[in-house]
Amino acid sequence: MSVQLKSPEAIAKMRVAGRLASELLDYLTPHIKVGVTTGEIDRLAHDYMVNVQHTVPATLNYAPPGHKPYPASLCTSVNHVVCHGIPGDKVLKSGDIVNVDVTVIKDGFHGDSSRMFTIGTPSIQAKRLIDVTYEAMWKGIRVVQPGAHLGDIGHVIQKFAESQGYSVVREFCGHGIGEVFHEEPQVLHYGRAGTGLKLQAGMIFTIEPMINAGKPGIRGLADGWTVVTSDHSLSAQWEHTVLVTPDGFEVLTVSAGTPPPPA
């Protein structure tokens, strides 16, 4: 596994890209409400990226091997959609939950983050799933430091999520990021402590657990991108981009509107 340690210059550019991704989510937040379509959220995001931030939407026409090009500037994953939901005509209604996942490119570097949003009044169960997933992500972030192992991140996320009665999606993981959208290492959200790659200062990767209210099984839809829970249970995800520093970690995807870490 070849993992690139980022130079001080690259880290500085990643801080800018990460902040811009988070500021995009700040901008979108008041628009994500009852009655809006996911396509409208995408249009707002595209306009803000291109005309205000002067960033490039990384997902638009992104086509990894075996996939047709992704047709939108962000992902909107509603209710039982686990990830990669394609924006379109779907109207958000009260009680829905939605993950909005954005990646911007600025000066050749990627900033990648996602947040969960509740539409109108969510059910108690939906709100709890979102809160537990957020705490799970942060438990993973807080073990990041030089000398820790990738398995430590997955272990604390899995242990916490399962202790709350939820399951961890295994088919998707966090990833290294920089000038390349998805690079090594792969950051699993389950696993055994003390296993896997040893972390070093200068590594940058995402931590983005997908947690299901039901079983962990998933399936892909015919559009080639959208992934849903097999049992139609709700799914939640949060994502931050994290730098391993000499004495711990730094979250790069932060801005004025970023939700604070859990206590």
Measure the CA–CA gap between 128 and 91, rounded to whole angstroms. Answer: 23
Task: At 88, list the tokens.
Answer: 């379109």
Task: At 7, list the tokens.
Answer: 């130079």
- Of 32, 30, 28, 66, which is closest to residue 48 (Cα–Cα)? 28
pLDDT bucket at 2, cuts 50 / 70 / 90: confident
List pLDDT tens digits, range 177-194: 999 999 999 999 999 999
List pLDDT tens digits, range 202-251: 999 999 999 999 999 999 999 999 999 999 999 999 999 999 999 999 99
**CA 15 to centroid of chain Cα atoms:** 16
- What is the SS3 assignment for 57? strand
Measure the CA–CA gap between 57 and 101, rounded to whole angstroms. Answer: 11
- Of 202, 203, 137, 195, which is closest to residue 166 (Cα–Cα)? 137
Report the topology of domain 8-251: Creatine Amidinohydrolase (3.90.230)
* pTM, full prediction: 0.97
pLDDT bucket at 173, cuts 50 / 70 / 90: very high
124 Cβ neighbours under 8 A, 6+ residues apart: none
List pLDDT tens digits, range 110-134: 999 999 999 999 999 999 999 999 9
Mean pLDDT over all residues of the chain?
97
The pLDDT of residue 24 is: 98
List pLDDT tens digits, range 132-144: 999 999 999 999 9
The pLDDT of residue 1 is: 61
Query: Percent of the chain having pLDDT more than 90?
Result: 98
Cβ(189)–Cβ(140) below 8 Å: yes
Specify the DSSP element, H or E, that contains 245.
strand 240-245
Task: At 216, list the tokens.
Answer: 């962990």
List pLDDT tens digits, range 64-113: 998 999 999 999 999 999 999 999 999 999 999 999 999 999 999 999 99
Give buried/exposed letters for 132-141 (b at 16+ CB in 10 A, else e): bbbbbbbbbb
